[in-house]
Amino acid sequence: MRGGPGDIFVNIAGDEMTGTLVMQNSVPIWGRNVAGQPRHLVSLDNSDSLNLGDIYHPLYLRNNGYLFERYNGTSYDVWTKRSLPIVCKTADETVNNSATLQTDDELSLSVGANQVWVVHYYLWVTTTATALFRANISVPTGADYDGTGYEGSSSAISPFYSGWDLITAYNGKLVFLQALIRVGVNAGTVHLLWAQKTAEASDTVVEADSSMVAIRTG
């Protein structure tokens, strides 16, 4: 099939399109008509900007595809939810009478080999003046990490590379954690770990809406 100044070649047997398509400005490519509304796939506007999808038909990447920017022969990933994971706890999680760090049920991050990540945790924590709260993270074998944490009402900053304890008594306050993680040759999962500082027969709770935001930097 020949299309004006450019050619479109369709391989019927393999159901693949090969060749080059040349579009004039403000000439879109439309998809199959659905419920009276055509699918607006690609358009080139008068300022030479390429527009993908429209307000009616968003563009999705399928089969683990990704977007990237090409600059001086190097490809750079464009941020998507895949490269900027955000996890929000959907339910309260409770520890009672335990000072042993345990894995959070929801706040985890899958990481690939040799990647670099910055991870932030925002935790709504309810505990007692005796039990208090401690936290850390676990990383794949061979990964290196270091981080800091602080309570929302305190200016004191504490490291948590080997476990972190909140020193002051508090109840229902926000806890912040942040870490730089350098993954080695082993891919795996980064988990948030937490427990009571002092085991007490009382509830220490990381509440629903506590969140993790991760940014891949390398």
**164 vs 93: which has the higher pLDDT:** 93
The answer to whether residues 143 and 118 touch, using CB atoms and an 8 Å cutoff, is no
Instruction: Flag whether pLDDT at 195 surpasses 70.
Output: yes
Q: How far apart are CA 209 and CA 93, in angstroms?
A: 11
Enumerate residues 6+ apart whose C-beta is below 8 A from 143.
111, 181, 182, 183, 184, 186, 188
- Give pTM, 2 decimals: 0.65
Q: What is the pLDDT of residue 1?
A: 43
Q: How far apart are CA 218 and CA 20, in angstroms?
A: 34
DSSP for 82-131, written as a single string:
TTS-EEE--S-EEEES--S-EEEEEEEEEE-TT-EEEEEEEEEEE--TTT
Instruction: Flag whether pLDDT at 81 surpasses 50.
Output: no
Q: What is the pLDDT of residue 203?
A: 95
Mean pLDDT of 198-205: 94
Q: How far apart are CA 61 and CA 57, in angstroms?
A: 13
Instruction: Flag whether pLDDT at 30 surpasses 70.
Output: no
Q: What is the pLDDT of residue 53?
A: 65
Going from the N-terminus, what domains does the chain have, and what CATH number goes with each?
A: 2-59 (no CATH), 86-216 (2.60.120)
pLDDT level of residue 7 (50, 70, 90 thresholds): very low
Q: What is the pLDDT of residue 3?
A: 46
DSSP at 31:
E
Highest mean pLDDT of the ranges 11-20, 74-83, 175-184: 175-184
The answer to whether residues 53 and 37 touch, using CB atoms and an 8 Å cutoff, is no
Mean pLDDT of 39-55: 66
**205 vs 50: which has the higher pLDDT:** 205
The answer to whether residues 63 and 157 touch, using CB atoms and an 8 Å cutoff, is no
**161 vs 149: which has the higher pLDDT:** 149
Task: Give kind and range of the element (H or E) at residue 213.
Answer: strand 211-216
**10 vs 58: which has the higher pLDDT:** 58
